[in-house]
Structure 1
Amino acid sequence: MKTMHFAERLYPQAKLENLLCEIRPARGVIDLSIGEPNVPLNHEILSHIPDGFEALARYPKESLQQTLLETIRDWLCKRYSLDTSSIDVQAQITVLAGSREGIFMMPIALFNRELQQGLPITVAMPDPGYPIYQASAENVGAKVCCITQAQIEQLEKLALNERDTFSEWSDIDLMFVCSPNNPTGEVLTLQQWTCLIELANKHQFILVADECYSEIYSEPFKPLGLLEACKHIGNNNFENCLAIHSLSKRSGLPGLRSGFVVGDAKLIKLIQGYRNYHGVSLSPIQLKGSEAAWADEQHVTTNRAIYQEKFDVFTKHLGECSAYQLPHGGFYIWLDVGGDSETFCQHLYQNYGVKVLPGHYLAVSDKVKSEVRQYVRVAVVCHLGEVEQVATAIKKSIAFFSHSNVVGDHVA
């Protein structure tokens, strides 16, 4: 059977649209199927963006890029308790047009020479997880290796030499991890980070941490990051390690298309060399806006408080559901609905106008697709005034399912 090319495979949200296309909801639609932040724009940050369109008539000035890199370094050092001397802004940070660009190009940028020579590479990734990890691997014909959260947790119980028997770590060339995780909300512990860094250094694979949800959490439990974990174990040059960050979730600015990758200088050099030709440069407007956003922490604190209010309401209404768990980070609820998730999504949409995403749409392997068939991902991105309505709708739908017999794709 011919394997479907990633560009031919429906993206999860498009697949959901097909699932719901013939349903007419009973009320107005609240779309929680996509992780588009819904927080107030910070006008202080916007005021730093150049007026008019004159800036678009010029290539970005090097000085603007340098100032942004220094601002990013200062943010990283403050956020992860690093010394400013530990990060060389020219050698260890590269600006990206959003985290998606960085993730998608990572295999081809880091293994371009090997791929040109026809050498196979293996890319490991979370399962379930962000679809771009799988697409980035398939784009270069790489073998896909799936890593579940349960496997990560199991690593803590094994000595370094025993971990080799747990999985084929020596086959991996590049590994994506996501903490806080999309969709589960799990956050890696220091011990789990340590295990992964040790494995990366022993087997010489590249560990790439997608940390775009790092600033959305319940105070004061800020998630530990890869660079911080490297510092704890003495990997001060971040050998074989890269971390990707973005303003999309942190600052509620997904349309700015701004992020960065930081870490091992030899890897950053490969990425910079590839991007010189790949060429997704940020305009002066993006650079100035990004600088202002990374320099300001108050709007991030405000956004975090808004998410906390929303989660408080969800917890009030769903806390008694045994399947409900407050995420450790990020703004997704990963929920076992007690029945076929596609049927649940259709019911929720038809009766309450609420869109959520079937969990198995984010799974990679057939095994995990089967295991998460009863899960949905709820992006907590509705307006605060809509949260009670959404939580009540989800609670009623779960109750409906628990008292119904699910037969195939229909509720009897």
Structure 2
Amino acid sequence: MNPSLDKLQPYPFQKLATLKAGVTPPEELNHIPLSIGEPKHKTPVFIRDALHDNLHGVATYSATKGTPELRQAITDWLIKRYDLPPESLDIERHVLPVNGTREALFAFAQAAVDASRQPQVLMPNPFYQIYEGAALLAGAEPVFLSCTDENNFLPDFDGISPGTWKRCQLLYLCSPGNPTGAVADMATLQRLINLAEEHDFIIASDECYSEIYLDEENPPPGLLQAAAEMGNTEYRRCIVFNSLSKRSSVPGLRSGFVAGDADLINPFFLYRTYHGCAMPTHHQAASIKAWSDEQHAEENRSLYRKKLEAAHDILYDVLPVERAAAGFYLWPETPVSDTEFARGLFAQQNVTVLPGSFLSREVDGMNPGSHRVRMALVAPLDECVEAAERIKTFIKSL
């Protein structure tokens, strides 16, 4: 077997299961999971109908590149959402449908990294563990860039050494961030594009939380938008990943896209023809409907805002919880260690949260997720309110 498999750490939820083992929460309290970022809002009926109405597609193989209609719907959405020059995006050259961003974020590193040159792959810390696994199995060394409150939960790009930039082949960026909700502004994105040109690396921007934000008038900027505004309408060294899972509450649809630099998309497409990962045609039909409608995405954001506001109002006087600009997570500091907090909360209140240290790696003796927990406000409003009340009760008992 590939010896790099031995370098993979247990997934955060495996660690969480071990942490909770042997604990019996109160039977009279229903379990409220805030640990997994799996949307629980109802999938819009028109998306389900499109799936049902196109089931005849299971009788044929689907193309790796997807249908022209799906690529056009994605392209139209990108142009409208980020105000991109229409002529800068070609459905044949710049866009590929993928089965959710998770598989694409992993696969892209396998296609992009040259393992013969002692590569490094940079990523935020805390982070989505797929980035680390992708780097390791591509033969690269992961480099963790700690995101702390001192730096507004964004990586300190000023602190990266010239030697690291020289070895960097791929930079994973996550904006809005998981779990912090931090948003990289336009200046930061454009600075990274300039650094990529200077040091010869690729930026892989995970933007799957881009459509969950608080201010309807100020959506988070995207990497392609930043490139276009600085005149880089070929999107050199820029590749973005996005998904319908959060935007449209269809995590089981496994539908997303990769878009950007045609010189990156083309070889990645070749890789994917061998990878065998074409999206089923009925999923493509439903995806076209989803990318073409904004009303349901606006309604989805409204639901998350209500939950985030409600949880904040309940917790703010007992827990230093800040309202992030985007995403559906809370990332508060804990009065005891994050693992003690998570285990005790489950034992006393039957609420599950994810210890922040499980989402991070220790760098220079410090784990940036330590003494923090991730709370995913994906449950219905009433459950999120009840969970917040139980968390408040637990904190008062400490």
Is TM more than 0.5 here?
Answer: yes
CA distance in 2, matches of 1:137, 1:307: 33
CA distance in 2, matches of 1:4, 1:25: 38
Partner of 1:333: 330
Partner SS state of residue 214, structure 2: coil
Partner of 1:356: 353
Partner of 2:93: 91
Cα pair distance change 1:63/1:148, threshold 3 Å:
closer
Partner of 1:384: 381
Please list, as runs of the form range in 1=range in 2, the aligned pairs for 1:42-191 lying within 5 A after superposition: 42-51=44-53, 53-60=55-62, 65-111=67-113, 114-115=114-115, 118-149=116-147, 150=151, 152=154, 154-155=156-157, 165=161, 168-191=164-187
In the alignment, which of 287, 291, 294 is matched to residue 291 of structure 2? 294
Residues 193-250 of structure 1 deviation map (CA, whole Å, 9 limit, x = unaligned): 1221111111110001000000000122310111111112111111101010001111
Give aligned-pair identity as a percent: 34
Equivalent residue letter for 1:279: G
Higher alpha-carbon deviation: 96-105 or 45-54: 45-54
Please list, as runs of the form range in 1=range in 2, the aligned pairs for 1:304-315 lying within 5 A after superposition: 304-315=301-312
Cα pair distance change 1:125/1:368, threshold 3 Å:
farther
> C-alpha displacement at 1:108, in angstroms?
1.3
Equivalent residue letter for 1:12: P
CA distance in 2, matches of 1:126, 1:371: 10
Cα pair distance change 1:65/1:260, threshold 3 Å:
same
> C-alpha displacement at 1:366, in angstroms?
4.3
Partner of 1:196: 192
Partner SS state of residue 37, structure 1: coil
Contact 1:251/1:303, CA 8 A, preserved across alignment: yes
CA distance in 2, matches of 1:24, 1:322: 25
Contact 1:6/1:138, CA 8 A, preserved across alignment: no
Equivalent residue letter for 1:172: C
Taking structure 2 as the reference length, the TM-score comes to 0.92
CA distance in 1, matches of 2:392, 2:78: 40
CA distance in 2, matches of 1:279, 1:63: 11
CA distance in 2, matches of 1:64, 1:243: 17
Gap runs ≥5 in structure 2? none
Partner SS state of residue 339, structure 1: coil
Partner of 1:319: 316
Cα pair distance change 1:165/1:136, threshold 3 Å:
closer
Do residues 375 (structure 1) and 377 (structure 2) align? no
Taking structure 1 as the reference length, the TM-score comes to 0.89
Cα pair distance change 1:62/1:6, threshold 3 Å:
closer
Equivalent residue letter for 1:17: A
CA distance in 2, matches of 1:120, 1:279: 29
Partner SS state of residue 212, structure 2: coil
In the alignment, which of 379, 390, 395 is matched to residue 393 of structure 1? 390
Residues 16-46 of structure 1 deviation map (CA, whole Å, 9 limit, x = unaligned): 0111121111122111111000111100122
Partner SS state of residue 30, structure 2: coil
Q: CA RMSD in A?
A: 2.1
Residues 60-98 of structure 1 deviation map (CA, whole Å, 9 limit, x = unaligned): 269961000000000001100112211011111111111
Cα pair distance change 1:253/1:294, threshold 3 Å:
same
Please list, as runs of the form range in 1=range in 2, the aligned pairs for 1:204-243 lying within 5 A after superposition: 204-220=200-216, 221-243=218-240
CA distance in 2, matches of 1:296, 1:80: 16
Partner of 1:41: 43
CA distance in 2, matches of 1:86, 1:143: 34
Cα pair distance change 1:52/1:222, threshold 3 Å:
closer
Gap runs ≥5 in structure 1? 402-412
Higher alpha-carbon deviation: 92-101 or 229-238: 229-238
Residues 299-349 of structure 1 deviation map (CA, whole Å, 9 limit, x = unaligned): 111110000110110121122346210111111111101211111111111
In the alignment, which of 234, 256, 268 is matched to residue 265 of structure 2? 268
CA distance in 2, matches of 1:289, 1:322: 41
Contact 2:100/2:257, CA 8 A, preserved across alignment: yes
Do residues 20 (structure 1) and 20 (structure 2) align? yes
> C-alpha displacement at 1:154, in angstroms?
4.8
CA distance in 2, matches of 1:322, 1:164: 33
Contact 1:64/1:288, CA 8 A, preserved across alignment: no
CA distance in 1, matches of 2:136, 2:241: 20
Partner SS state of residue 90, structure 1: coil
Cα pair distance change 1:167/1:79, threshold 3 Å:
farther
Cα pair distance change 1:399/1:368, threshold 3 Å:
farther
Higher alpha-carbon deviation: 323-332 or 58-67: 58-67
Partner SS state of residue 132, structure 1: helix
CA distance in 1, matches of 2:240, 2:55: 33
